[in-house]
Amino acid sequence: MISKPVRILILFIIGGLIWYGSFYIFFILSNAQGVLANPAYQSSKFLKVFMDYEPLPRMLKDSYLIYKGFYLIGTLSLIVFLYLNNRINTNWIKKAFSFSLIQWALMIPWFEFYLPYNVMHEPFNLVLLEAGLWYGVILLVSVVYSFILNFKPIY
């Protein structure tokens, strides 16, 4: 069995990859990004910010910016997960669900309300879709974190 410090080190090394993979599954493989970027559904303001209004998004000049962001978010969320892990007294899967709900509730509703809905005029049904997709990302990240850190096989 791999010791807990080694499992924590593994999580810090692959934390960004876990976030990227989860995002890729829920936003890209599901084709949700195609729906979110479809002019038939999305606000023209939102689309113009990504394609027309100068300055264009930073990620167009620095193609690694998104990966850097995933690594940063992965590291920060892992630090909070490690802090809460021993304070949530249950099995590994319930820890994952508890952490994902805490993280989602503290981050996504405000972000989705403030930027996509309020500033960018994203339609409310797309705000709800995106909020649900983000819960999927956060839940999958939390399940992987908790599995790597807490799972103990039964022999």
Q: What is the pLDDT of residue 73?
A: 95
Q: Where would I find the beta strands (DSSP E) of the chain?
A: none
Asked if residue 99 has pLDDT above 80, the reply is yes
The chain-wide mean pLDDT, for the chain, equals 96
pTM: 0.93
| Domain edges within the chain | 4-150
Mean pLDDT of 16-25: 97
| Long-range contacts, stretch 47-55, CB < 8 angstroms, 24+ apart | 49/120
- Specify the DSSP element, H or E, that contains 104: helix 92-112
Question: 129: number of CA atoms within 13 Å, CB side?
Answer: 17
The count of other CB atoms within 10 Å of the CB of residue 21 is 16
Q: What is the pLDDT of residue 17?
A: 96
